[in-house]
Every structure is written in structure tokens, then in C-alpha cells.
Copies of this chain bind each other. A is one copy, B any other.
């Protein structure tokens, strides 16, 4: 194996340059390619297959919780976008405008949806009349566009894929319940499938969604100590209902505004996956969402019986896992590196000696461990190992997050902690926007959320020394 190195396309070490490491991984693991469309990405088969798995898992949960999928138009007339004041103020600077159809200039510009609240609202005003029509629980899988200046694959792109849930309820409490429920759904997809631990909480007024009453968020910590917002769920209150006239007749025959929510997760989750689990050998994909869970690499495959056995194992193991095989004429060393780069959870090696001994070798991507397994125990062992890897990834990610979460009671401490070991800073806040802005200007860290699980780590605001209102998690963020 001495000459494996020359087959390996080296990637930058994450300790040397994390941003370059990220760029190397997305490219070398064949997740994306670039095109001549500025700020957009091509999601390649390996990247898209991961997204399909995330989508299928989440879609099933969205349906289980009573939601229905719909599809609304890509374009939004300018006048419609302007109906809700806070909303248009938030989004106008970052939308793409269609001004011509064929060779004709349009009488009204159309924006390419940055999100679809206003379209859903117009539709809801059409179809909701009575309390019998509530709740309306809709979801949409779609592409959206936001005119970003600086872009990075998965993390911030001009166009991205997402789902956006939009619901209408009879009461504020029902809408609140929904907002919480969908945040829990997101948290469970992140933790149980992507093995990404999340911090649940509420956004500050400054950081909430444009037009919302309040925003719930889940936040995760990346390997470099920066935070990433992995999902948000907004209680929209009645602001949109008032602007769009979405009213229903209640049981007493009186007209009422509906109470709304919206919630979304995006292809950013793949960025989180890379930065939470990846290492200097490339991507690491948790088994539950890995498109290929076991990659079979035949050893000395020109020798009689090896390829036959490898294919036989592939067919046999299909029952218990998503199995691939690479029977190309490339060197095993090249293949090892290729599938480590792509983050396949388990590699199965089978060669003439293994066949003689009635065994195969299983190599774990997460720990690098190799074990010899008897062929008649292979199915059971693979099922066990995949589960072990899944749990180990979550455990390691939890430890990472814990090790990068510090408490600060003064601004000196805040800055020192953030510099020495970037991550979450837990610090008390007086609730004043001025302090939130000051902290951002001074340190680069933003308020990530007011966590649901509150602690009182001090009695005074970390910034102004005034009376502490609540605990906030702060971090530099993607």
C-alpha cells in the first residue's frame, strides 16, 4: 500500500484552512460542481442522493403530522409581494426580477420567489371560509432564489432547494402548537438521521423572520466553532391574515383572522453534515441517510472466484443495507481513498485469502477500525455496525458541541472565550437591541437563540451590566 498516495487527490487539512478544506470536500467528494451561473451550484449525484434521503425522511414526517404537499408558482407579482410591509422590507433587497417574457417587456415585474408566504396567503384567502376549513396544513418542496453577493456551496447560494410549510389555524394557541411541533420534527430529523445535535430556542426580535410574530430555531455547531441555523419555524400571528384578508367564520358566525405559521429546512443541511462529521480524509455520511451504506471492494479481483463472491455478497447484503460494489480496474488503494472521501460508512474488502478463510473485512469510516467477520455473520454484523456508527457520530458531535460551549459573564471573558475556543458563548442579556448590536460589532458574534432551556449564569447583562432578562447563546455563524 506504499504507493497509495499517488492515487489520492489531497485535500487541505481542516486545521490549516477550514474554508479551503470545505471547498475541497464538496468538490472531491463529488457533491457539487460549478457552472457559469454565478453563485449557483450543480448538485451532483452523490450530493443529490443525500438530499433525496433527507427529503424522503422529512416528507414522511410532514405527512404523518397531517400535512399535504402542494405546488405554487415560481413567480410573484411585485404588487403581491408588497402587501405585507415587514416582509417586503426584509426580502426586496435580495430578489431576482423578471422584466421580460420573450421579447416583450412586462407591465408588472415578477420576482422569483425568495419564499412563498404571499402566494400561500393569496391562495388561503380563496379557499378558507369557515372554521370547518381549518386547520389548513400545507407544505411545498421547491427551489427559491435570493440574490446573495458572497456564496458558498450549500451554505449560501443564489438558488437553493428547500421545503416550506405554510399553515393556517383557528387560534393563536393552535398556531403556537404547530410552530413548536414542526421545530421538534426538524430537531428529530437532524439528530436521529443526520446525527447533528441541535440547540432549540427562539430568535431575538432582531433575528426573527421578516413579518413573523416570533421565530423558533434550531442551531448547530460546526467543527470550526461557527454556528449554523439548521431549521426555523415561524409563528406568523395574524399580520399576513390582515394584509391578505384570510378570514373565517367561527362557530358563532363571527369573522376571525386566521393564525399562521411557516417553517423550512434547506440544502444547507448538507453543508452542516459536511462540517459536523467531515475529517481530513473527506466526507463522513451517517448510515441512516447514506445513499450507499456499504461499498464492496474486491481485492485481487483478477483471481478466480473473487468477483463472483463479491457480487454474491452484494446480492445477499442488499436485504439488510444499501450496498454498492466497485469492480472497476482501478487499484484497491485508489478505491479505499475514493469511498473514504465520499464518506461511505462501511467498506467491505473481500479477496482470495478471505474467501479461503470464509470471512471478509469490514472497515469503518468513522473510526478507521477494521474487523474480520465470518461470512455467515456478515448480515448481522453490518446491521450492528451501521447502528454503532450512527450512534458514534451523534455522540462525537455532541461532545464537540459541549467542548465548544462556554459561559461568559463579562465582555472580556466573552471575547477571550470566543477567540481561544470559538463556539457557543452562553451569556445573559438585558433584552436591549443596543447590547445585541454592540456585541455583534465588537466580537462578530450574533445572538443565535434564546434557548428553551434557560439557565441563570449571572444576574447582569454581559454587555451593559443592566438587569439580566434571559440567557442567550451567541456565536459567529454561517
The complex places the Cα of A110 from the Cα of B39 at a distance, in Å, of 13
Interface size class of A (residues with CB under 8 A): 35 or more
Q: Are the CB atoms of B99 and A103 closer together than 8 Å?
A: no
Q: Is A72 an interface residue (CB 8 A)?
A: yes
Binds B, one of A18-26, A42-50, A389-397: A42-50
Asked if residues B101 and A98 are in contact (CB atoms below 8 Å), the reply is: no
For A94, the closest partner residue in chain B by CB is B102
| Contacts A69-B49, A112-B112; A74 near B44 (Cβ below 8 A) | no
> Does A75 touch B at the CB level, under 8 Å?
yes
| CB atoms of A99 and B99 under 8 A apart | yes
Check A95 for interface membership: any CB of B closer than 8 A.
Answer: yes
A40 touches B (CB below 8 Å): yes
Q: For the complex formed, measure the closest distance between the CB of A106 and the CB atoms of chain B, giving whole angstroms.
A: 9
Complex Cα gap A44–B69 (Å): 8
Residue contact A70 to B98, C-beta cutoff 8 Å: no
Chain B residues with CB under 8 A of A74: 40, 112, 143, 145, 159
Residues of chain B with a CB closer than 8 A to A101's CB: 95-97, 147
User: Given A33-B127, A98-B98, A147-B102, are A48 and B69 neighbors across the interface (CB < 8 Å)?
Assistant: yes
Tell me the bound Cα distance from A40 to B48 in angstroms: 27
With a cutoff of 8 Å between Cβ atoms, the chain B residues found around residue A353 in the complex are: none
Closest to A77 in B: B36
List which A16-66 residues lie within 8 A (CB) of chain B.
33, 35-37, 40-45, 48-49, 51-52
CB of A304 within 8 Å of the partner chain: no
Given A77-B37, A123-B35, answer yes or no on A42-B69 (Cβ-Cβ < 8 Å).
no
Residue of B nearest to A34 (CB): B126
Nearest opposing residue in chain B for A103, CB measure: B93
Are B73 and A45 interface neighbours, CB within 8 A? no
Known contacts A69-B45, A70-B48, A93-B103; A76 and B126 CB within 8 A of each other: no
B123 touches A71 (CB 8 A): no
Cβ–Cβ < 8 Å partners of A68 in chain B:
45, 48-49
In the complex where A33-B123, A122-B35 touch, is A71 in contact with B98 (Cβ < 8 A)?
Answer: no
> Cβ of A119 < 8 Å from any Cβ of B?
yes
For A98, the chain B residues whose CB sits under 8 A away are: 96-99, 112
Q: How far is the CB of A148 from chain B (nearest CB, A)?
A: 9
Q: Which chain B residue shows the least CB distance to A157?
A: B73
Using known A-B contacts A37-B73, A45-B138, A73-B159, determine if residue A99 contacts B102 with beta carbons closer than 8 Å.
no
Chain B CB within 8 A of A100 CB: yes
* Separation of A76 and B96 alpha carbons in the complex (Å): 13
Task: State whether A102 and B95 are in contact (beta carbons under 8 Å apart), knowing that A75-B40, A123-B35 are contacts in the complex.
Answer: yes
Please tell me if A80 contacts chain B, counting CB pairs below 8 Å. yes
The answer for the CA separation of A102 and B89 in the assembled complex, in Å, is: 12
Interface string of A248-266 (1 = CB under 8 A from B): 0000000000000000000
Q: Looking at the assembled complex, report how far the CB atom of A68 sits from the nearest CB atom of chain B, in whole angstroms.
A: 4
B75 touches A37 (CB 8 A): yes
* Contacts A93-B103, A96-B100, A97-B98 given; does A72 touch B123 at CB 8 Å: no
Chain A, range 150-207, C-beta contacts under 8 Å to B = 158-159, 161
- Least Cβ–Cβ distance between A43 and chain B, in angstroms: 4
- Beyond A40-B74, A74-B159, A75-B159, is A69–B96 a contact (Cβ under 8 Å)? no
B interface footprint on A100-138 (CB within 8 Å = 1, 0 otherwise): 111100000110100000010011001100001000001
Judge whether A71 and B102 touch: CB under 8 Å: no
Smallest CB separation, A453 vs chain B (Å): 37
The closest CB in chain B to the CB of A38 belongs to B77
A93 proximity list for chain B (CB < 8 A): 102-103
Chain A residues at the B interface, C-beta cutoff of 8 Å: 33, 35-37, 40-45, 48-49, 51-52, 68-77, 80, 92-103, 109-110, 112, 119, 122-123, 126-127, 132, 138, 142-143, 145, 147, 158-159, 161, 328
Inter-chain pairs besides A36-B77, A37-B119, A40-B73, 17 sampled, C-beta below 8 Å: A35-B72, A42-B71, A44-B70, A45-B68, A45-B138, A48-B69, A48-B71, A49-B68, A49-B69, A75-B145, A75-B159, A95-B102, A97-B99, A98-B112, A99-B99, A102-B147, A143-B143
A and B contact pairs by CB, cutoff 8 A, 10 listed: A35-B72, A35-B123, A37-B77, A37-B119, A48-B70, A74-B159, A96-B101, A102-B147, A132-B328, A142-B143
Q: Which 9 A-B pairs have the closest CB atoms?
A: A40-B73, A45-B68, A101-B147, A97-B100, A43-B71, A37-B73, A102-B147, A99-B99, A96-B98
